[in-house]
């Protein structure tokens, strides 16, 4: 049987090759596999179960803020796609086209949706006539295809799963409120469910969504200090409404164009989960989204019938309120099982041996810290639930501290350059607002302007040119 140390050696240490470590965790923790076409991955059951928990947490929040779910078609006629000039210019390079139906060449090419603003705009144009038809608050859970050159499981895929919210409103103020509300929903969701702190802010003109008036994002810091845009919320003003004819007769009797928004979060956040919390032993899952929260392992290669029975009883008892798995496979040693469940990121392991049974206790082991503690069997469910809550809170606290420690407020370029180019963290500094300065940062350090944080401290001078700054900006290398 495999020894403990042999098992762990299968994962490349993160400080040796972070990117290889990431790929190892994805495959060894059985989250995904590579499909036959480059950039298309299979999300395996262990990965999909995480996505289902993410979906449930987001969907609950969307419904609580007044949204309903619907589904729009996969294929977009080319003539529709070209109506919004900026949008088409931004997305055309990565569109996959359908040109044939069976043997027949189609009279018009059909785009596989890279996103659905166009399709939704066309339909809302048909549905909206009067101010009484507004607002429309619809979300859809779907897949999109973008022909990416460089792909990485979960982080950048040719096909990925996500949700896209699309709303239409009678006024710009209301649409802007919606845009910011959903940005806050993402921010709160990431912190509460995934234990991932993030910075909310506005994207620069060069980084905003193609066709948007304003794009906001939530940016999270990964274990290698790179930034990951974890969700976006776009305010379109009436750009899409004008292109797709979403207009309405207002209460004052005049015809007006509606104001629209869209917002999305994707399977990318599974990549964020891996990189924010994972360690040299593999995945570390926050209890709220962990498909298995507790694994019960009877101790002893040939655990006595008494221990086996007690472990079964325990697992059954706990599973009334928690997601529990009993690993009683006789063909593996406890050590092998410990490693496997550690690699898969299960938050708590409960070990039960003959001596524990005699003492009326189990040994609980935390995945995040490795800390062991005996817990009395009496009232175990409540204690394990409390331990899971503590782990959830500690993970967020650790990640929050890390984000703060690696965000550097520096005022001059000489100090910022090594931080950005050597990926020591993010830089928060003044920016004059010129694209020339933004491009200079990118050219010299490889970092991009992540966003202009919603909470702005008083900026002094531009990090690059030294002129009076207009904003405080967050800079960092990104995925």
Using CB under 5 A, list all residues that contact Zn ion.
432, 437, 462, 464-465
Q: At closest approach, how far in Å is the CB of 452 from Zn ion? A: 14
What SS3 class is residue 252?
coil
Q: What is the DSSP code (8-state) at residue 263?
A: E
Tokens for 12, please give them.
């490349």
The residue to which tokens 């000489």 are assigned: 414
Q: Is the Cβ–Cβ distance between 440 and 429 less than 8 Å?
A: no
Comparison of 64 and 414: residue with beta carbon closer to Zn ion: 414
Comparison of 50 and 462: residue with beta carbon closer to Zn ion: 462
Tokens for 338, please give them.
């410990």
* Burial class of residue 101, CB neighbours in 10 A (0-12, 13-18, 19+): exposed
Q: Is the Cβ–Cβ distance between 228 and 275 less than 8 Å?
A: yes
107 Cβ neighbours under 8 A, 6+ residues apart: none
Q: At closest approach, how far in Å is the CB of 200 from Zn ion? A: 23
Q: At closest approach, how far in Å is the CB of 447 from Zn ion? A: 15
CA distances from 264 to 49, 163, 215, 225, 339 (A): 20, 5, 11, 23, 36
Comparison of 413 and 426: residue with beta carbon closer to Zn ion: 413
* Burial class of residue 203, CB neighbours in 10 A (0-12, 13-18, 19+): buried
Comparison of 69 and 206: residue with beta carbon closer to Zn ion: 206
Q: At closest approach, how far in Å is the CB of 217 from Zn ion? A: 21
Q: At closest approach, how far in Å is the CB of 433 from Zn ion? A: 7
Q: At closest approach, how far in Å is the CB of 416 from Zn ion? A: 13
Comparison of 106 and 439: residue with beta carbon closer to Zn ion: 439
Adjacent-strand bridge partners of 475: 427, 449
Comparison of 350 and 437: residue with beta carbon closer to Zn ion: 437
Please name which of 144, 141, 157 lies closest in space to residue 32, comparing C-alpha atoms. 157
Q: What is the DSSP code (8-state) at residue 245?
A: T
Q: At closest approach, how far in Å is the CB of 465 from Zn ion? A: 3
Tokens for 182, please give them.
């959903």
Radius of gyration of the chain (CA): 25
Comparison of 172 and 466: residue with beta carbon closer to Zn ion: 466
Comparison of 258 and 441: residue with beta carbon closer to Zn ion: 441
Tokens for 461, please give them.
């001078």
Q: At closest approach, how far in Å is the CB of 466 from Zn ion? A: 7
């Amino acid at each position: 049987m495999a020894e403990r140390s042999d098992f762990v050696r299968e994962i490349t240490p993160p400080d040796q090759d972070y990117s290889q470590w990431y790929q190892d965790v994805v495959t060894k923790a059985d989250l995904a596999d590579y499909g036959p076409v480059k950039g298309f991955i299979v999300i395996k059951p262990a990965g999909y179960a995480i996505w289902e928990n993410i979906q449930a947490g987001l969907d609950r929040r969307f419904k609580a803020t007044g949204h309903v779910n619907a589904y729009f078609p996969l294929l977009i006629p080319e003539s529709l796609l070209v109506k919004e000039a900026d949008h088409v210019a931004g997305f055309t390079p990565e569109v996959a086209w359908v040109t044939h139906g069976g043997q027949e060449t189609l009279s018009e090419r059909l785009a596989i949706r890279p996103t659905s603003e166009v399709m939704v705009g066309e339909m809302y144009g048909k549905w909206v006539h009067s101010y009484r038809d507004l607002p429309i608050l619809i979300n859809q859970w779907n897949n999109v295809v973008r022909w990416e050159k460089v792909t990485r499981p979960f982080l950048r895929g040719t096909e990925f799963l996500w949700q896209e919210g699309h709303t239409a409103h009678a006024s710009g103020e209301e649409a802007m409120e919606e845009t910011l509300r959903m940005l806050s929903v993402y921010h709160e969701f990431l912190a509460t469910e995934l234990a991932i702190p993030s910075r909310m802010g506005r994207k620069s003109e060069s980084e905003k969504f193609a066709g948007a008036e304003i794009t906001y994002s939530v940016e999270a810091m990964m274990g290698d200090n790179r930034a990951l845009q974890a969700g976006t919320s776009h305010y379109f003003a009436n750009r899409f409404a004008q292109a797709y004819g979403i207009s309405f007769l207002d209460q004052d009797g005049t015809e007006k164009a509606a104001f629209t928004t869209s917002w999305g979060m994707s399977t990318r956040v599974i990549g964020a989960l891996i990189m924010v919390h994972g360690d040299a032993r593999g995945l570390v899952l926050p209890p709220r989204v962990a498909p298995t929260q507790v694994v019960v392992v009877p101790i002893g290669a040939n655990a006595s019938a008494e221990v086996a029975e007690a472990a079964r009883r325990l697992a059954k008892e706990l599973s009334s309120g928690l997601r529990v798995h009993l690993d009683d496979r006789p063909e593996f040693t406890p050590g092998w099982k410990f490693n496997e469940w550690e690699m898969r990121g299960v938050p708590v392991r409960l070990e039960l041996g003959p001596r524990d049974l005699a003492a009326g206790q189990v040994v609980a082991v935390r995945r995040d810290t490795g800390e062991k503690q005996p817990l009395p069997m009496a009232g175990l469910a409540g204690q394990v639930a409390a331990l899971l809550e503590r782990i959830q809170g500690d993970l967020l606290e650790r990640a929050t501290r890390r984000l703060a420690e690696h965000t550097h407020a520096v005022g001059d370029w000489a100090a910022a350059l090594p931080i950005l180019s050597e990926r020591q963290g993010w830089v928060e500094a003044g920016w004059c607002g010129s694209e020339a300065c933004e491009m200079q940062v990118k050219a010299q350090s490889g970092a991009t302007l992540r966003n202009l944080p919603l909470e702005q401290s008083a900026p002094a001078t531009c990090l690059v040119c030294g002129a009076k700054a207009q904003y405080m900006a967050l800079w960092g290398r990104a995925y």
